[in-house]
């Protein structure tokens, strides 16, 4: 069976995000996948990249450079235990699902902190090994999220611009940079402003998609997909 890691960022299990996460766990487990969830709020995951991430002596004690120190610590097995744990989950996963509510055109800070701290140089990328040759190639990722605004607001001519513009830093700048192939995002627009019936339909649509997820082709990871 395939291995799936769901990185989940919502404070309330009864939220639509909580239900989407639960549906994914149930549906993928039914298929024989082994599913791990990193519930960032429940774990009280530390989003800040600090000196505490480095165990033992610094590479350069005169001047702290997080990128360099994290890279050096990764090479010698000197990252903090919470990071080693998350990296192990990523390493084992065939598919990463990120489940979250859109905050200010981006992911919540706790999830961005997960990206900042977990995807260090040496583990996820190492120039020139980035984009198609990133160190996490052969993995898939899928961003599943809810929005406050309606689908019309996030259309090309809408007030918020095409939703794909917002996906560029997340899907291309982080995932593709690390070599991960990206599946089309799963977006639930404005769940707070629709009927209970509509929200149920959103969950059913997600369960349906998950049934054939492994047959999907990744998006064409080029600027054209986002900005055409």
Kindly tell me if the per-residue pLDDT of 221 is higher than 90.
no
The pLDDT value recorded for residue 104 is 97
Mean pLDDT within 106-135: 97
- The residues, any chain, with a CB within 8 Å of residue 141's CB and separated by 6 or more, are 95, 96, 97, 98, 171, 175, 180, 181, 182, 183
Mean pLDDT, the chain, as a whole number? 97
The pLDDT value recorded for residue 154 is 97
Kindly tell me if the per-residue pLDDT of 130 is higher than 90.
yes
Number of domains in the chain: 1
Q: Which CATH number does the domain housing residue 68 bear?
A: 3.40.50.360
150-170 confidence digits (pLDDT tens): 999 999 999 999 999 999 999
Rounded CA gap, 19 and 209, in Å? 15
Question: What number of other Cβ atoms are within 10 A of residue 166's Cβ?
Answer: 22
Kindly tell me if the per-residue pLDDT of 136 is higher than 90.
yes
Cα dist. 91→4, 10, 35, 176 in Å?
11, 24, 13, 16
Decide if 121 contacts 115 (C-beta within 8 A): no
170-200 confidence digits (pLDDT tens): 999 999 999 999 999 999 999 999 999 999 9
Domain hosting residue 155, numbered range: 3-227
- pTM exceeds 0.85: yes
Assign 78 a pLDDT band (cuts: 50, 70, 90): very high
The pLDDT value recorded for residue 213 is 98
Q: What angle do CA 61, 64, 67 make, to 5 degrees?
A: 125
Question: E strands of the chain, at which residues?
Answer: 3-8, 34-39, 95-101, 140-146, 181-182, 186-188
Give CA 95 to chain center in angstroms: 10
The pLDDT value recorded for residue 228 is 83
- Angle subtended by helix axes 81-92 and 109-118, to nearest 10: 90
Rounded CA gap, 1 and 145, in Å? 25
């Amino acid at each position: 069976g395939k291995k799936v890691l769901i990185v989940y960022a919502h404070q309330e299990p009864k939220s639509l995000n909580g239900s989407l996460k639960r549906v994914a766990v149930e549906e993928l487990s039914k298929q024989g996948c082994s599913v791990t969830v990193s519930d960032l709020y429940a774990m009280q995951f530390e989003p800040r990249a600090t000196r505490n991430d480095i165990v033992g002596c610094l590479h350069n004690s005169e001047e702290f450079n997080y990128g360099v120190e994290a890279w050096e610590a990764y090479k010698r097995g000197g990252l903090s235990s919470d990071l080693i744990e998350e990296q192990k989950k990523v390493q084992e996963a065939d598919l990463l699902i990120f489940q979250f509510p859109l905050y200010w055109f981006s992911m919540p800070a706790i999830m961005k902190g997960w990206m900042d701290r977990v995807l260090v140089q040496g583990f996820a990328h190492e120039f020139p090994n980035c984009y198609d040759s990133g160190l996490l190639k052969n993995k898939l990722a899928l961003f599943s999220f809810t929005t406050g605004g309606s689908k019309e607001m996030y259309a090309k001519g809408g007030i918020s611009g095409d939703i794909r513009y917002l996906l560029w830093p997340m899907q291309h700048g982080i995932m593709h940079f690390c070599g991960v192939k990206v599946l089309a995002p799963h977006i639930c627009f404005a769940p707070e402003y629709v009927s209970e019936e509509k929200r149920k339909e959103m969950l059913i649509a997600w369960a349906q998609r998950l049934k054939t997820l492994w047959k999907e082709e990744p998006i064409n990871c080029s600027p054209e997909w986002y900005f055409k």
